[in-house]
Structure 1
Amino acid sequence: MSFKITGTGSYLPPLSVTNDDLSKTIDTSDEWIKQRIGINERRVSADENTSEMGYKAAKKALEMSGTSPDEIDLIITASMTGDYLCPTTAGGIERLLGAHCPAYDINSACSGFVFALETAAGYFARKKVKKALVVGSERISKITDWTDRNTCVIFGDGAGAAVLEPGDSYIASHINTEGSDEVINIPTGTNLSPYYKKETKDCRIFMDGQETFKFAVSTMAGDISRLAEEANVLLGDIKYIVPHQANVRIIQYASKRLKIPMEKFFVNIQNYGNTSAASIAIALDELNRTKGIEKGDLIIMTAFGGGLSSGSCLIKW
């Protein structure tokens, strides 16, 4: 037994920061950002923390599934921008919902939501839960260097969520971590220990764009092919692919390599930017609410991120 998704939800902060807005503070332009990444605007939190955004996305998912907070047996939140190191972001979402169950966080950067789904699948396989809530929520703006035009134009804030119940929709999955900090890393920041002798770097995103691009295209194309082969389905049978929204050119290159039309890839990066672990969850909810996913549709979710990590899964709606 695995699970089925009975409700999705998402939340984006109301503050929109356009490319033209950024061009007033850094050396960039709307044309440069669109051509390089495919983003028109991104949402940025002005007064909401990570758990608050996650709560608002979770509430919508619960409403769609007809589930009350006291029915939830487990909450897993994927995030690398929690409000605190302790308590957990999942615990904050639980408190705001008024739920009473185990709640904990998973951090695998932008792959986190898929890692969280894989973790939840284990609970369903052991029949430990009847209803689970998986959330991806990120306030990336707080760890973004807003003077670095190579990174600050990419990221945005937001949250997405899914309610899971027993079912046989989770068909195949693949997750992996390489354990590298050379291509993407985010230092923890301040070190209070008087005994630590190494340099402490600021908590801000570092990314080697060229190496990230190569890793992302290779991983996305490879994982999609692997899942189709494992599930014994043709790539043409896949109704939608929901990729991590990092760069539209990554998705375009993967599309060409796989010979899958871009129309099958759900893309919304132009409106929200890269929201890390919230990215796929937000896209899945938007796809669910706008495209009319039908029962039996085969959907692949595929992600890559710091770590270097990657995660993909195939579900049958």
Structure 2
Amino acid sequence: MVELQHPVYVHGIGSLRGEIVVSNLSLWPLFETGFNVERARGSLDTTEGADISRLGPEQVFDFFVRRKLGVGERRYTRKTIEEMIFEAGRQAIQEAGSSDLRTQRTRAYISTTNDPRVVPNIGQIVAHELLATNTRGVHLNYACAGLMFALEQAYDDLTAGRCDGALVGAVEKSYEQANFEDPTNGPLWGSGAVAFVLSRNRDNAIALMGRPFTDSCSAPGDLIQYSRKPKEVRIMTPQGDFSFLENDVVYQMTKRDRENHARKLKGVAERMASAIKAVLGDIPLNEVHRFFTHPASLKFQEFTARALNLSKNDPRISTMIETDGNSSSAATGLALDHYWKEKGIPEGSLVVLSSIGASYNWGAVPFITLLRR
């Protein structure tokens, strides 16, 4: 069995997927006037025999999003971020059986890009609701890599003896920050939440967590464009009409970046792969049962595999991009919890979470499972 040096212990994981399933066709009315159908037809790879010449505009859009991004549908929610992380946190606490979280020295570390408040931050709110009223709560925003940084901060505090337990989570409604004028951005984003209960005590643990690795570089300011005032977005879904306010801070690439997209994406994938290699150290890649990687796009997944010297279709690389889109910092943890509960991960398996945020924050975290769940 592979060993992780100086581990902490995972006692419970909980997660929440958005309850509103939004297909590509549901989004078509938002893109109908700006989507260049003929250009999309010409840009699509049809080497696998797909005949798109007879498809209508909305079917071309659906085909385009599936091929370019890998997204067939994504999940939105009517819940607030507080409701989402409360539910995921309670699931994790229930699995851990940690009724004493309110009395022991426990801290909350919550990652989100969606907290509209300055004070109290979402970490303080979660600590007050789910832990002791005098417990410290921390909010981290490292974009899509936020969970990696939250797990690292919890790990450091636990191993240094600054706390005995930790509730670590990520919660996102990423579609509220999408650019619905860009068919390579707006359809990508979804929503979700995940929470982990960690401690220094091995009793009743479901997994070991090794030392996380994170890194950052200077934030390229031209990636964050303040493009317009918030506006209401309305869509039709099988669950009924749904509307939300599209934020005025939109993450998107500039024209220059788009022209160099493949080169840029390859470099980003190499950064994330470097984090995976850092947490593994001398452990060979073939010892990893599953890589839960950041769901940026199908091309990004391919570049990540290449950077790890794996085949581009290596079945161990797992995301939920096809059914959930990209739920930012919640995505990889949510994928781990969902896969572990639905399909099972054998006892003693090494799995790695990894993510990268807006190209300038990245990290990875190793786990060894102690049961199938």
Scaled to the shorter chain, the TM-score interval is 0.7 to 0.9
Cα distance between partner residues in 1 of 2:82 and 2:228: 21
Query: Secondary structure in 2 aligned to 1:109?
Result: coil
Quick one: distance in 2 between partners of 1:7 and 1:132? Answer: 11
CA contact (8 A) 2:276 2:363 kept: no
How many angstroms apart in 2 are the aligned matches of 1:170 and 1:186? 37
Any gaps of 5 or more consecutive residues in structure 2? 1-5, 36-57, 203-207, 230-246
d(CA) in 2 for partners of 1:64, 1:10: 12
Tell me if 1:162 matches 2:196.
Answer: yes
Q: Structure 1's 212 and 81: CA in aligned 2 closer, same or farther, altered over 3 A?
A: farther
Greater shift, 255-264 or 83-92, is seen at 255-264
Q: Which of 304, 322, 330 is equivalent to 1:254?
A: 304
Q: Which residue of structure 1 lines up, in the alignment, with residue 151 of structure 2?
A: 117
Sort the Cα spacing of 1:215 and 1:49 in 2 relative to 1 into closer, same or farther, 3 A: farther
Matching residue within 82, 105, 115 for 1:51: 82
Does 2:183 match 1:152?
Answer: no
Deviations 1:242-278 (A, max 9, x none): 1122213212232244243521112211111111111
The aligned counterpart of 1:9 is 14
* TM-score, normalising length: structure 1: 0.87
SS of 2:185's partner is: coil
- Residue 186 of structure 1, CA deviation: 5.7
* Conserved? CA contact 2:333–2:353, under 8 Å: no
Per the TM alignment, residue 162 of structure 1 is displaced from its structure 2 partner at its CA by: 0.8
Structure 2 counterpart SS, 1:51: helix
Answer yes or no: is the 8 Å Cα contact 1:185–1:205 preserved in 2: yes
TM-score, scaled to structure 2: 0.75
Q: Give, in whole Å, the separation in 2 of the partners of 1:183 and 1:316.
A: 39
1:195 is aligned to none
Does residue 21 of the first structure (1) align with residue 26 of the second (2)?
A: yes
* 1:71 to partner: Cα distance: 4.9
- Counterpart of 1:97 in structure 2 is 130
- Quote the Cα distance in structure 2 between the aligned partners of 1:173 and 1:98: 24
How much does 1:11 deviate?
0.7
Cα RMSD (Å) of the superposition? 2.4
> What do the CA deviations read for 1:41-88 (whole angstroms, capped 9, x no partner)?
111123x22121111111111111112352561100011111412211
Listed one character per residue, the Cα deviations across residues 119-166 of structure 1 (whole Å, up to 9, x for unaligned) are 001111112222211010012232223333231111111111111121
Which sits farther off after the overlay, 17-26 or 62-71?
62-71
Contact 1:71 1:131 (C-alpha < 8 Å) held by counterparts: no
Counterpart of 2:74, as a letter, is: R
8 Å CA contact 2:155–2:211 kept in 1: the answer is no
> Which residue among 219, 240, 251 is the counterpart of 1:180?
219
Q: CA deviation at 1:107?
A: 0.8
What corresponds to 2:115 in structure 1? 82
Q: Report sequence identity in percent.
A: 22
Q: 1:305 aligns with which of 347, 357, 373?
A: 357
Give the C-alpha shift of residue 33 in structure 1. Answer: 0.4
Change (3 A) 1:171 1:97: closer
The 2-side partners of 1:188 and 1:177 are apart by 25
- Aligned: 1:277 with 2:332: no
1:205 aligns with 2:251: yes
Contact 1:184 1:308 in 2 (8 A): no
Amino acid at match of 1:33: V
- Aligned positions of 1:132-147 closer than 5 A: 132-147=166-181
Q: Matches of 2:225 and 2:120 in 1, distance apart?
A: 20
More off after superposition, 303-312 vs 259-268:
259-268
Larger Rg: 2
SS at match of 1:263: coil
Q: Structure 2 counterpart of 1:247, which letter?
A: S
Q: More displaced, 269-278 or 98-107?
A: 98-107
Count residues with an aligned counterpart. 304
CA contact (8 A) 1:50 1:83 kept: no
The change in CA–CA distance for 1:13 and 1:99 in structure 2 (over 3 A counts) is farther
